C-alpha cells in the first residue's frame, strides 16, 4: 500500500515548455486534489476531481489543466509554463465527499526559468 505517490519529484522547465505531473493513489479514493505551495503561503487548491472522468476548478486554476481518466490517477498539466508557476505541487486524496484530504503525496518541486 503505497498511499499517494507523485512523479516526478523535481523538474526544471524553461518558460513556454509543457509538462505533466502524475499523481497515483492505491486506496480506491474517489476524491483527488492538486495543491500548490508557495513560500509564506499555505497550500492553495488548483483543481480537484470527485470521481473518474470528472474534474473541476479550485481556487487557482489558471494555467493548468487536469485529467482523471482512471480512478487511481490524477494528472496535472502545464501547457505553457511560466515563472509564476514555480512552486511545490502536492496531490491529495480522500475517500468521499464527507471526508477532507487526509493523504498527501511527497510533492513535486517545479522550477520554471
Partner 1 sequence: AQSVTQPDIHITVSEGASLELRCNYSYGATPYLFWYVQSPGQGLQLLLKYFSGDTLVQGIKGFEAEFKRSQSSFNLRKPSVHWSDAAEYFCAVGSPSSGGYNKLIFGAGTRLAVHP
Q: Which residues bind partner 1 (CB under 8 A)?
A: 4, 31, 33, 40-45, 48, 50, 56, 90, 92, 94, 97-107
- Min separation Cβ 10 and partner 1, Å: 11
Report the SS3 class of residue 53.
Answer: coil
Nearer to partner 1, 87 or 94 (CB): 94
Q: Are 10 and 108 in contact (CB under 8 A)?
A: yes
- Min separation Cβ 16 and partner 1, Å: 29
Closest CA to 35 of 101, 111, 113, 112: 101
Report the SS3 class of residue 48.
Answer: strand
Q: Are 32 and 6 in contact (CB under 8 A)?
A: no
Nearer to partner 1, 28 or 98 (CB): 98
- Min separation Cβ 105 and partner 1, Å: 5
Amino acid at each position: 500500500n503505497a498511499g499517494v505517490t507523485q512523479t516526478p519529484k523535481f523538474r526544471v522547465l524553461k518558460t513556454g515548455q509543457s509538462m505533466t505531473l502524475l499523481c497515483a493513489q492505491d486506496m480506491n479514493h474517489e476524491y483527488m486534489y492538486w495543491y500548490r505551495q508557495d513560500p509564506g503561503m499555505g497550500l492553495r487548491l488548483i483543481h480537484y476531481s470527485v470521481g473518474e472522468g470528472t474534474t473541476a476548478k479550485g481556487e487557482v486554476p489558471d494555467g493548468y489543466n487536469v485529467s482523471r481518466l482512471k480512478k487511481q490517477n490524477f494528472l496535472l498539466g502545464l501547457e505553457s509554463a511560466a515563472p509564476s508557476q514555480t512552486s511545490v505541487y502536492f496531490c491529495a486524496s480522500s475517500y468521499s465527499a464527507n471526508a477532507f484530504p487526509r493523504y498527501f503525496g511527497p510533492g513535486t518541486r517545479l522550477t520554471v526559468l
